[in-house]
Amino acid sequence: MPRSPGGATVRGMSCCSHCRDAEGFFGDRTARRELRRYRKRGPPTSTRRLLDALREKGVEGRTLLDVGGGVGMIQLELLDEGLRSALHIDASRPYLEVAEKALTEAGHGERTTRRFGDFVELVAQDPDVPAAEIVTLDRVICCYPRLAALLEASVHCTRERLGLVYPRERVGTRVALAIGNLWFRIRRSDFRAYLHPPDQVHRILEAHGFRRTRSDRTFIWQVEVWEPADGPGGSTPD
């Protein structure tokens, strides 16, 4: 197994070619740059709005599963506010390593664990992936080809709240993703970015007994919180 800088084992499994090439795109230089930007400016607007939505019903004493958690921004913010523990699953070893160092420096090392691999495959093949009160996918849906499998794995692990940030369906977004994917093809990378329709996201989650309790947006991103329909209260927005 690979080992993190602090010596803790990063448990995981092999990834599909898409995820392997994602690790090349989300590499060490990108991770360190993103952490510097976070420390200077705080989370980006879409992440801040997701955090605000999660704070509305409280995070103290809850557990977090942060899927594709990058440099650990959500973990760092919520652990400071009383989150009990966090599990970070990511297909990029450099992001896991940079996040671990940042969390350890912030005094949260003992309350966090990391898993390397494809989240969907981990849930399908490894019964040790625990459920959590809060599950977050911050700008993850656009990086994964199998939308239904990703959302099904996410709801399987969600006890209270599922937080999502994913691209709005806009012409400009389509153009930007097409240009980015052309660049990946030129580089002979299997990694692609995806604009999964919001209506499809909603249908899948509703079919699994979840309801949307919070919806917000930025110019580019859709920000949503979903809960089990028979779980904690909350009104479905129009």
Per the CB < 8 A criterion, the answer to whether 72 and 88 are in contact is yes
| pLDDT given for residue 21 in this prediction | 52
Structural tokens at position 37: 């930007």
pTM of the model: 0.84
Report the alpha-carbon distance of residue 160 to residue 231 in Å, rounded. Answer: 7
| Domain made up of 11-228: CATH architecture | 3-Layer(aba) Sandwich (3.40)
From first to last of the 238 residues of the chain, give the pLDDT tens digit: 333 333 343 444 445 544 555 555 566 888 999 999 999 999 999 999 999 999 999 999 999 999 999 999 999 999 999 999 999 999 999 999 999 999 999 999 999 999 999 999 999 988 778 899 999 999 999 989 999 999 999 999 999 999 999 999 877 777 777 787 687 777 777 777 888 899 999 999 999 999 999 999 999 999 999 999 986 544 344 3
**Angle made by CA atoms 197, 137, 164, in degrees to the nearest 5:** 55
Domain boundaries in the chain?
Answer: 11-228
* SS3 category, 67: strand
